[in-house]
Structure 1
Amino acid sequence: MTQIGYTMMCEQTPARQLVADVATAEEIGFDYAVISDHYFPWLEEMGHSPYAWSVLGAASQATRLPLMTYVTCPIMRYHPAVVAQKAATMGVLTEGRFTLGLGAGENLNEHGVGQGWPTVDTRHEMFAEALRIIRDLLDGGYVTRRGEFFDVDSAKLYDRPPEGVPLAVAASGERSAALAAEYGDALVAVEPDADLVRGFVEQQKPVYGQLPICFDVNREAAVERAHRLWRWAMAGWKVMAELPAPVNFAASAESVRPEDVAAKVPCGPDVEAVVEAVRAYVDAGFTHLALVQIGHEHQDAFFAWSEKELLPALRDTRAS
């Protein structure tokens, strides 16, 4: 049965609201929650980007939901040894309810530390090395490593959850899927691609996806908001990984029309449109799917609609 999660979208939401919203998500029946880990918003109009790990610490005490990063990049802005420590601490705070979601990142969020942005081949090599370090540290004991990209000198995590911390690794193609298969306890995928996730489904490992929606009682208002705040996502990951700033995402989306966004993002109060979009992920074998409500000012209306109409419909879908 596919679990339905809630996304704490840091790029569009103030920090305190993120914590309040995830508590409400638990109250109305969402199964788990994920959080984006960004330094910048995708677009200036989104207007926020608080530090995800501070929010996670607060959320761990405000809710009993399973929590997950969706996703953290451990190759530039954070050293992998520090990522391992953060994940282990979250595992302790949540009493085993935390999953560390990891990916190779985007220029948007990593260039700020002044180290440039490597080619995609180099990023995958860095990511593989980072995954080995994180896995070794979470397994316990001292770790010393002299790598091509990262050094670790007698590092050890003193606070680790007895259950361990599962790693969910993001993949969008054959090479990243191979890394996920080698190091991941779970897979993160951006499209309901049955071929990509088949190996994890066959091994009965969790597969995580994410679905943006834009609820409003007025569909036209929802389409306008989705276009204003989500047009950046139409470019695809090969482009999105390379652009350095919100202004570049805005420029790349100049020709994106409201109807282009509405064709990919369920907009308005139509429950069946969301159910149909969710069903594509369920049919592909996804075990977890986190919803993103576009626009932080509209979360309360989204929660009321979800509790009354959307979540009951999705439960019926899962039971059928």
Structure 2
Amino acid sequence: MVSVDYMAHQEQYSPSELLDYAELAADAGFDLVWTSDHFHPWFHTDAEAGFAWSWMGAAGERVDVPLGTCVTPATGHYHPGVVAQAFATLQEMNDERVILGLSTGEAMNETPLGFDWPEYPERRDRLEESLEIITRLWDEDEFVDYDGDRFRLNDARLYTKPETRPEIHVAANGPSTARLAARYADGFITVIKDEEFTDRLHPAVRRYAEEAGNDPDAIETTLLVIASYADDYEDAYEATRPWWATTQNVFDRAMANPRDIEREGEKATREQVESKFLIADSPEEVAAKIEGWSEMGFDRVALANTSPDPERFFEVMGDEVVPSL
């Protein structure tokens, strides 16, 4: 059975509101709460930008479901040793139910803090080195040295570790990063769906897992979807407006200023918006979409609630959608 997760976007609501929504999601039967990890948001108007790691510490006291980042950037402003320490601490405090989601990052996390925004090959190398460092610090009890092209460790050791290390999930929208997910991770997260997923991405993950000697069936697949629900379809459609820039390939462009990113969103067509997001005015339509993605091969569907009435969305999910899946 497909798992339905909640994506708590730090960009759209204050951290305090997101704690309330995480509770509503858990009460409605959502299986896991993810949260975004960015310095700048994906839009400017009425935006927020809470710090994911602080929020997860508070969320662990409010909900009993697993928690994860979707996704932490493995680029400049987070040294992987610090990431390893932070998530080992979160795991120790939260009954070993923490997931570290990693990605090659976005310019919005680096440029505002004075870091360069490198080309994809370097970002991919940084992600691989981060995976190697984090894994070694979690798994090894001795002092660790690491001399990479991007990161280094000199006699580094984690003194606080959980009994079971956190799961690692890697965000992958193409086969190259998918290879890292297949080699190092317990799962992968993507926004890619339909034929591009079934014909290209998912087979690549499975092939790379087999080449690495890993069980491809053991790698969880998570689809991240912006979701909006309302009794009136047009209201639900309009509520997706803050996220329209994500239909314009802003993930791969060196855009860091939320005002510029928001302007890109105004170029979105209705067809792009409706094909990218889950927009619905009936519980049956929401359930049908989730079932369809499950049939594509997704183990989890993480819904980011951008509904005009967020509380109503959780009510409908708990009363009618989740029980029907």
Q: How does 1:28-43 map to 2 (within 5 A)?
A: 28-43=28-43
* Alpha-carbon RMSD: 1.8
Closer/same/farther in 2, CA of residues 238 and 268 from structure 1, 3 Å limit:
closer
* Larger CA deviation: 124-133 vs 245-254: 245-254
Q: Is the 8 A contact 1:19 1:62 kept in 2?
A: yes
Q: Distance in 2 between matches of 1:215 and 1:70?
A: 22
Q: Distance in 2 between matches of 1:262 and 1:172?
A: 20
Offset, 1:245: 1.5
Which of 212, 222, 239 does residue 226 from structure 2 map onto? Answer: 212
For 2:297, the aligned partner's letter is G
Q: Is the 8 A contact 2:248 2:268 kept in 1?
A: no
Aligned to 1:230: 243
* Larger CA deviation: 117-126 vs 211-220: 211-220
3-state SS, counterpart of residue 238 of structure 2:
helix
Offset, 1:238: 5.2
Q: Distance in 1 between matches of 2:50 and 2:29?
A: 25
Aligned to 1:196: 201
1:242 pairs with 2:227: no
Query: What whole-Å deviation, never above 9, does each CA across 1:290-319 have from its counterpart, x for those lacking one?
Result: 111115x62211112212222223x2xxxx
Aligned to 1:87: 87
Q: How does 1:93-112 map to 2 (within 5 A)?
A: 93-112=93-112
1:301 pairs with 2:306: no
Query: What whole-Å deviation, never above 9, does each CA across 1:41-99 have from its counterpart, x for those lacking one?
Result: 11112410100101000011111101111010122121110000111011111111011
Q: Is the 8 A contact 1:41 1:49 kept in 2?
A: yes
Aligned to 1:122: 122
3-state SS, counterpart of residue 308 of structure 1:
helix
Query: What whole-Å deviation, never above 9, does each CA across 1:174-215 have from its counterpart, x for those lacking one?
Result: 211111112112111222312422416843321122121111
Aligned to 1:157: 158
Closer/same/farther in 2, CA of residues 19 and 76 from structure 1, 3 Å limit:
same
* Larger CA deviation: 246-255 vs 113-122: 246-255
Offset, 1:280: 3.3
Over the matched positions of the two proteins, sequence identity in percent amounts to 29
Q: Distance in 1 between matches of 2:190 and 2:320?
A: 27
1:312 pairs with 2:317: no
Aligned to 1:318: none
TM-score normalised per structure 2: 0.90
Closer/same/farther in 2, CA of residues 298 and 109 from structure 1, 3 Å limit:
farther
Q: Is the 8 A contact 2:223 2:301 kept in 1?
A: yes
Q: Distance in 2 between matches of 1:237 and 1:171?
A: 15
User: Which runs of 5 or more residues in structure 1 are unaligned?
Assistant: 316-320
Query: What whole-Å deviation, never above 9, does each CA across 1:123-155 have from its counterpart, x for those lacking one?
Result: 111111111111111113221112211111211
Q: Distance in 2 between matches of 1:264 and 1:173?
A: 17
Q: Is the 8 A contact 1:69 1:99 kept in 2?
A: yes
TM-score normalised per structure 1: 0.91
Closer/same/farther in 2, CA of residues 262 and 174 from structure 1, 3 Å limit:
closer
3-state SS, counterpart of residue 118 of structure 2:
coil
Q: Distance in 1 between matches of 2:125 and 2:304?
A: 31
Q: Distance in 2 between matches of 1:30 and 1:55?
A: 18
Aligned to 1:282: 294
For 1:220, the aligned partner's letter is E
Q: Is the 8 A contact 1:96 1:165 kept in 2?
A: yes
User: Which runs of 5 or more residues in structure 2 are unaligned?
Assistant: 210-214
Which of 262, 271, 289 does residue 283 from structure 2 map onto? Answer: 271
For 1:151, the aligned partner's letter is R
3-state SS, counterpart of residue 291 of structure 1:
strand
Q: Is the 8 A contact 1:220 1:268 kept in 2?
A: no
Q: Distance in 2 between matches of 1:14 and 1:238?
A: 23
Q: Distance in 2 between matches of 1:280 and 1:81?
A: 39
Q: Distance in 2 between matches of 1:79 and 1:202?
A: 29
